[in-house]
Amino acid sequence: MSEHGKVEGDGYALANLDDLGEGYGFRKIRKELDVKAFGINAIVMPPGHAAGFHSHEEQEETYFVHQGTAEFSFGDGTKHVVGSGGVVRVDAPTVLSVKNVGEDDLVYVCAGGKDGYVGRDGVMAEGASRSEPPA
């Protein structure tokens, strides 16, 4: 659990995955934190379980393996084992499946979107420093 549970403030929201659900399956990050610009979910999967082969009509996806060991199988017949810290990008029409091939629970995050990268648009808040907010 997070230190404070799910928290929402003026322009932000935060939570621990445990605040977003329990047991196996999807943790709806986009819905629970009100993410508007892209889809994002966490998935908790028991050992030996596999998600069905699927693809998308429009959105590219990026997977981040937070915990455990995943096997990504693609429609071209290739398989890749990815451990904690691994990142995988998949084009919309690419067929794939994710399987937990480890002995512990698999936790991964999947973010999806379309229409490109916004670019670097961060700016320092007026009157702020790297360690202090604006006065």
Say what the pLDDT of residue 1 is. Answer: 44
Tell me the average confidence (pLDDT) per consecutive run of 10 residues in the chain, 135 residues long.
79 94 95 95 97 94 98 97 98 96 98 88 79 76
Assess contact for 51 and 98: CB atoms under 8 A.
yes
Say what the pLDDT of residue 17 is. Answer: 93
| 24-113 has CATH 3.90.226.10 classification | no
Say what the pLDDT of residue 4 is. Answer: 66
Say what the pLDDT of residue 133 is. Answer: 76
Q: Which residues contact 62 (CB under 8 A, 6 or more apart)?
A: 87, 88, 89, 90, 110, 111, 112
Q: Hey, how many other C-beta atoms are within 10 angstroms of the C-beta on 108?
A: 25
Domain range list for the chain: 24-113
Q: State the pTM of this model.
A: 0.88
